[in-house]
Amino acid sequence: MLDDLVSEELPADPVPLLRCWLETARTSNVTDPDSGVFATVDSDGRPSARVLHLRRCDDRGLVFFINRSTRKGRDLEGNPRVALTFYWAPLLRQVNITGISQTASPAESDLLWREGSSTGRAASLASRQGEPLSDEQGLRHRAKEIVDAGTMQPRPSTHQGLLLTPETVEFWLGRRDRLHRRVHYSFAGGEWTHWSLQP
C-alpha cells in the first residue's frame, strides 16, 4: 500500500498508513518490528532515548507500557513531549513521530500488565529498573521465584500504560539512488495536513 507515497493517494490521517506500514513490517523479514526508539527530555533539556515495544496503535495514537519510576518516567513528569522513531532496514522504511504523552487509564494499564509475559512481569516485580545492581544472582533468584509461583501478581502502581498522541508523523521511504520519498504530516487546528519533502 502506498509504496511510492503518492500524494494523491495518501490518507488525510497518518494513522491508517502507519498501521499499514507496521503490518507490512510484521509480515516481512524484520526483526522486532514493533520496537521503536523513544526519546524524552529532562527538566534541564538533556535528551535521552531507549527502545520501547509498541503495544497498540489505534485511533487515539500509540500505546506503550512503562515504569514511571525510571528516568523516562521522571522526564515525562516534567515534559510530556516525546519523539519516536521506527526503522525497518530490510524495507528501507522509517517513521518519525513527535507528540504528547499521557498516562493510560488504570483499567487499560491493568489490561496491558495482564497481557505481558510471565517472565516480563517477574522481571518488573523483582527489579528496581535503572538503579545500581550489586547482586545479579539475587535478582535472578527473585524473578525465578515469582515465575515459579505461577500466580498473577497485581500491577505495581508505577507500571502504567502510556498513550502517545501524535502531532507530527513523517514517513520516509528509502531509495537506492538516494532520492528518497518523504511525506510529513502535521496536526494543527483540529486537522491533519501533509506535504512531500525533498530527500
- Predicted confidence at residue 55, as pLDDT, reads 97
Reported confidence tier of residue 66, pLDDT bands at 50, 70, 90 = very high
The DSSP element (H or E) to which 125 belongs, if any, is: helix 118-126
Task: Give residue 156's identity as a one-letter amino acid code.
Answer: P
Q: Tell me the per-residue pLDDT of 75-100, one tens digit each, with 9 for 90 and over.
A: 999 999 999 999 999 999 999 999 99
CB 166: neighbour CB atoms within 10 A?
A: 22
Question: In sequence order, what DSSP letters do the residues of 71-116 get, joined into one string?
Answer: HHHHHHHH--EEEEEEEEGGGTEEEEEEEEEEEPPHHHHHHHHHHS
Instruction: Tell me the CATH architecture of domain 7-105+161-197.
Output: Roll (2.30)
- Nearest-CA neighbor of 84 among 151, 162, 193? 162
- Predicted confidence at residue 7, as pLDDT, reads 59
Q: Tell me the per-residue pLDDT of 49-65, one tens digit each, with 9 for 90 and over.
A: 999 999 999 999 999 99
Domain extent listing, the chain: 7-105+161-197
In the chain, the largest separation of any two C-alpha atoms, in whole Å, equals 59
| Set of cell numbers at residue 113 | 500488565
Go through the chain and tell me how many residues it has.
199
pTM: 0.89
In sequence order, what are the beta bridge partners of 86? Answer: 95
Cα–Cα distance between 193 and 199 in angstroms, integer?
Answer: 19
8 has a pLDDT exceeding 60 = no
- Nearest-CA neighbor of 21 among 94, 115, 124, 84? 94
Reported confidence tier of residue 1, pLDDT bands at 50, 70, 90 = very low
Pairing, β 81-88 against β 35-41: antiparallel
Q: Tell me the per-residue pLDDT of 112-159, one tens digit each, with 9 for 90 and over.
A: 999 988 888 888 888 887 888 787 887 788 888 878 887 778 899 999
Cβ 85 vs Cβ 96: under 8 Å? yes
- Predicted confidence at residue 125, as pLDDT, reads 80
DSSP state, 27? T
DSSP state, 135? -
CB 177: neighbour CB atoms within 10 A?
A: 7
108 has a pLDDT exceeding 90 = yes
| Set of cell numbers at residue 100 | 504528547
| Set of cell numbers at residue 19 | 498501521
